[in-house]
Amino acid sequence: MPRTTLPQTLLILKPDAVQRRLTGRILARVEDKGLQIVGMKMIQISRALALRHYGVHRKKPFFKSLIQYITSGPVIVLAVQGKNVIAITRKMMGATFGSNAEPGTLRGDFGVSDSFNLIHGSDSPEAARKEIALYFKSDELHAAALSDFAWTYDLSEGKPV
């Protein structure tokens, strides 16, 4: 089965994750789960890009601080794919605020702040498509055939089960 037919999502390891040197540990957990990173780069999100990405929150009281936070330092942007990738990554992230997140989740294990929350993940397939396109050109996404694919997904029926 071609890997490109698997659902994809965007993850952003936010400035606090980068500054606290948690990126390697977070990346390892994404890969340990069996998800495939198909795009990755470190960038500084510009104000213009932040406004496009988070424009849906424009009228919310936290909007100004969100834009200030996400543009405050480098981030790691990831395009990740796998079966049920959006639901899986959102569960892995945990509750929005570290103080409320369950142990075992990324925010529960690494976060305590109610404003800096380490990681962004797309919340729907539509959002994932739009967000991935904001950060990656199509030639920047690479879905290699991985040798462990058949062991990560039961392919006995010809597709991931």
CB atoms within 10 A of CB 60: 10
Rounded-to-integer distance, Cα 77 and Cα 30, Å: 13
Contact 150, 3 (CB under 8 A): no
Q: Where are the alpha helices (DSSP H) in the chain?
A: 15-19, 23-32, 47-54, 63-70, 85-93, 106-110, 125-135, 149-152
Active-site entry in 53, 57, 120, 142: 120
Rounded-to-integer distance, Cα 41 and Cα 138, Å: 14
Query: Is 53 one of the annotated active-site residues of the chain?
Result: no
Q: Given its phi and psi angles, is residue 84 left (phi above 0), alpha (psi -120 to 50 degrees) or beta?
A: left
Where in the sequence numbering do the catalytic residues fall? 120
